[in-house]
Amino acid sequence: MTETPGLDLTAFRGWYDGQRPGEITGELSAEVIAGGKSNLTYVVTDGGHDWIVRRPPLGHVQATAHDMGREYTAMSALRDTDVPVPVTYAHCADPDVIGAPFYVMERVDGVAYRSAGQLEPLGPERTAAIADRMVDVLAALHAVEPAAVGLAEFGRPQGFLERQVRRWGKQLEGSKTTERPNAEELHRRLTARVPEDNDEWNGIVHGDYRLDNLLTGPDDRIKAVVDWEMATLGDVRTDLALLLVYDQIATLAGGALVADVAKAPGYPEPQQHLARYAATSGRDLGDMGFHLGLAYFKLAVILEGIHFRFLQGATVGEGFDQIGAGFDPLIAAGLDALDQSPGQD
């Protein structure tokens, strides 16, 4: 067996043979297909069968931020719903096997579209169809009753929005590279406008829903939703708002590290996404100003955190030098979202 950083194939095989005896029939090899800042994803093969193995980044010690059990639980629970997810095979909570907790799932043949350049050859009609299906799958996820799939204890929906505002405010305090008065103003206004809990909107939240966290098949249908490490129970409108903000981030923040699928010909405008979701879900979205303001704030804080690590020399790769430029435009957009909303603060 060849050596793969972060995945001891001999140890993996010994463990997996105990979970699913006889499934591995040949010598194993593996390669990393995604990883670095987030969880590491490997494709493992014995020459006749492939598996996907996911584990936290190398050297990571805060397991709560890269919770393998959370990903595995969410996908396993959603297997027989209308939400397409990979089939999960086994989960190992013991960090001593390969050096970190991990899980194993099927390899899904699909494309994670991240750039307009990937979508442009498909043409406007196919691009629009893929984006519409992305929204339809999100509505399907939000229609799943958590208790019906064994996820009643997957999160704490009561007080979810207040905790989100508080959490991202603390994140900003811990990673500011300079004084950020506009960001503090946005945080103050969000704190003052946290909506009351509404059971109608409580459901399964993916937490990082966007096109490049979906695998799209050659028939342009969504074959799998992946990257569930942020999944929880809460106000599902946060998923929709974050998707809309992700679509705007290439225009507002730019840079090589930012996905720009929304610039592809045929990709729907934000209002089209909202109308599609409302029609598919049968729900009246009402005022989304708070949720959009929170989503802009969250992504700005994430960029500030990356910029903070870049200044400390803790990032690897190119493109990080421009990441900090996106902070102010995102904060301004968040303030604008609240200004256009009828709520008081």
Convert the pLDDT of each residue in 108-138 to its tens digit: 999 999 999 999 999 999 999 999 999 999 9
| 201 HSE (CA, 13 A, CB side) | 22
Q: What is the pLDDT of residue 61?
A: 47
Give mean pLDDT, residues 241-259.
80
Instruction: Identify whether the C-beta of residue 86 lies closer than 8 Å to the C-beta of residue 74.
Output: no
Under DSSP, the state recorded for 108 is P
Which tens digit of pLDDT belongs to each residue from 42-68?
999 999 999 999 998 776 444 445 688
User: What's the start-to-end Cα distance of the chain, in Å?
Assistant: 61
* Phi/psi of residue 90, nearest 5 degrees: -165, 150
User: CB 104: neighbour CB atoms within 10 A?
Assistant: 22
Picking from 226, 230, 225, 264, the residue whose alpha carbon sits closest to that of residue 247 is 264
CA–CA separation, 304 and 301 (whole Å)? 5
Q: What is the pLDDT of residue 308?
A: 65
Under DSSP, the state recorded for 189 is H
Helix (H, G, I), strand (E, B) or coil at 331: helix
Which tens digit of pLDDT belongs to each residue from 291-336?
999 999 999 988 877 766 666 665 445 555 555 567 889 999 999 9
Query: What is the DSSP pairing of strand 202-205 with strand 50-55?
Result: unpaired
Give mean pLDDT, residues 133-157.
97
Q: What is the pLDDT of residue 307?
A: 63
Give 260: exposed, middle or buried? Use CB within 10 Å, 0-12, 13-18, 19+: buried
CA–CA separation, 120 and 277 (whole Å)? 24
- Alpha-helical runs (H) found in the chain: 9-19, 68-77, 116-119, 124-143, 160-175, 181-192, 237-252, 270-281, 289-311, 327-339
Instruction: Identify whether the C-beta of residue 247 lies closer than 8 Å to the C-beta of residue 262.
Output: yes
| pTM, entire model | 0.91
